[in-house]
Amino acid sequence: MRLADFILGNRDLILAEWAAFAKTCAPASASMGITALSDHAGEMLMVIAKDLQTPQGDREQSEKSKGLAPAPTSTERTAAEKHGTGRAESGFTIDQMVAEYRALRASVIRLWTRGQSQPTQTDLDDLTRFNEAIDQSLTESITRFTEDLDKSKEMFLAILGHDLRSPIGAVLTSSKFMLETKELEEPHLTLTTRIVSATTRMNNMVGALLDFTRGRLGGGIPITRGSMNMGKLVHDVVNEVLAAHPTRRIRINARGALSGHWDCERMSQVVTNLLGNALEHGSERSTISVEVQGSDDEVTIAVHNHGTPIPEEQLDGIFNAMKMQTTPNQSTGPTANLGLGLYIADRIVHAHKGRIDVTSSDERGTVFSVHLPRQA
């Protein structure tokens, strides 16, 4: 019997074996009924059987064996994608879902070969195509599973960050008010000052977390453009940074036409994050330089510091969120440990239709260069 006909004729038996295995995937399966456990498996078996019955040329088989099966013509999700979503929502691990596919593959092959005599070339061809179809379904399920799981994690972070702002804001406002009264004596003055400093850092971290989730969940970090001067913005940001790091040296060189239409608050965030990165990883004995230059079409901001260079293998992923850092870390910035500062800066610049370049070497130091078009 051809494998496709066997699957169609014995679907209930195959599904019963598969559901029995799925029940062993505790604890996620403990509260699920037989219908939920076998959810889209029947539909997947129908798709696989149909695929086996469809004539396939050598090129099509070669493409499918490499995981390059044609994309579905319909926008509706496949049964395998629905299965991946369902398992993610039910609390299955990805290992358990992969094990389900192994069990399905083994059940079909075992039940089919039990009634077969000496296998023919046609049987071997059916078996090859069946394995390719299972692999394709597994790929679709894993892709959807990981996408949905990542989205759930990011949504959780967004909700957490949003809900944390209220209690942090209350602590920050109250402690600032206590300082403004000028009535505190030691040790209460020092303790309250520490509370203000710590909650300010916490508030900055929550803001970075919200920007991260906006960049991942939505269409990027939102910006509101307005007329501004980039030279003035850089001077203002540098003054704020130096107030927090009075022992460090930052030199500004601004020249050319520096007016344009950008989001002033967001670009302040970009310059702050780049300076924070330079302070964190640059040598404390060297001067950080900020070059601001305007041309006909764009304004460039280059932040340069000396210190341990960024390893070449890390340059390509330097703007990835929550990256691991192997360079020496003095960790002075609020987002240093999460690795969100450069990611957020890159997303803000991208929202302005610009780009950030980075170069790093022992001889020239590290330079982050922001290129911003004057107009949208």
Q: What does the DSSP assignment read for 283-336?
A: -TTSPEEEEEEE-SSEEEEEEEE-BSPPPHHHHTTTTSTT----S-----STTT
pLDDT above 90 (res 322) = no
Task: Indicate the pairing of strand 250-255 with strand 288-294.
Answer: parallel
Evaluate if pTM is beyond 0.85: no
Average pLDDT, the chain: 82
Give SS3 for 372: strand
- Residue 301, strand partner residues: 292, 370
CB atoms inside a 10 Å sphere around CB 200: 15
* Residue-wise pLDDT tens digits, 40-89: 778 888 888 888 888 877 777 666 666 565 665 556 788 888 888 888 87
Q: How far apart (Å, rounded) are the C-alpha atoms in residues 139 and 93? A: 15
What is the rounded average pLDDT of the residues 137-160?
81
Overall average pLDDT of the 94-99 stretch:
85
For 91-114, what is the mean pLDDT?
A: 85
- Order of strands, sheet of 355-361, starting from the edge strand that comes earlier in the sequence: 250-255, 288-294, 298-305, 365-373, 355-361
Q: Rounded to 5 degrees, what are φ and ψ at 220?
A: 105, 175
ω into 27 cis (within 30 of 0): yes
pLDDT at 305: 94
Residue 353: HSE in the Cβ half-sphere, 13 Å Cα cutoff: 9
Report the chain's terminal Cα–Cα distance, integer Å.
Answer: 65
pLDDT, position 215: 67
Strands of the chain, DSSP E: 226-229, 250-255, 259-262, 288-294, 298-305, 355-361, 365-373
For residue 113, the number of C-alpha atoms closer than 13 Å in the C-beta half-sphere is: 13
Average pLDDT of 349-365?
92
pLDDT (mean) for 117-139 = 86
- Side chain identity at 298, as an amino acid letter? E
Alpha helices in 74-180 (DSSP H): 79-90, 94-114, 121-180
Q: How many CB atoms lie within 10 A of CB 258?
A: 19
| pLDDT exceeds cutoff 90 at 164 | no
Q: How far apart are CA 316 and CA 312, in angstroms?
A: 8
Q: Which residue type, as a one-letter code, is found at position 5?
A: D
Give the separation between CA 151 and CA 242, rounded to whole angstroms. Answer: 38
Share of the chain above pLDDT 90, in %: 26
> Is the CB of residue 165 less than 8 Å from the CB of residue 203?
yes
Whether the Cβ atoms of residue 30 and residue 49 lie closer than 8 Å to each other: no
CA distances from 251 to 100, 270, 301, 373 (A): 61, 17, 13, 24
Q: How confident is the model at residue 258 (pLDDT cuts 50, 70, 90)?
A: very high
What is residue 58's predicted lDDT score, i.e. its pLDDT?
73
- Separation between Cα atoms, residue 192 and residue 35, nearest integer Å: 59
Q: Could you give the CA distance from residue 101 to residue 103 in angstroms, rounded to a whole number?
A: 5
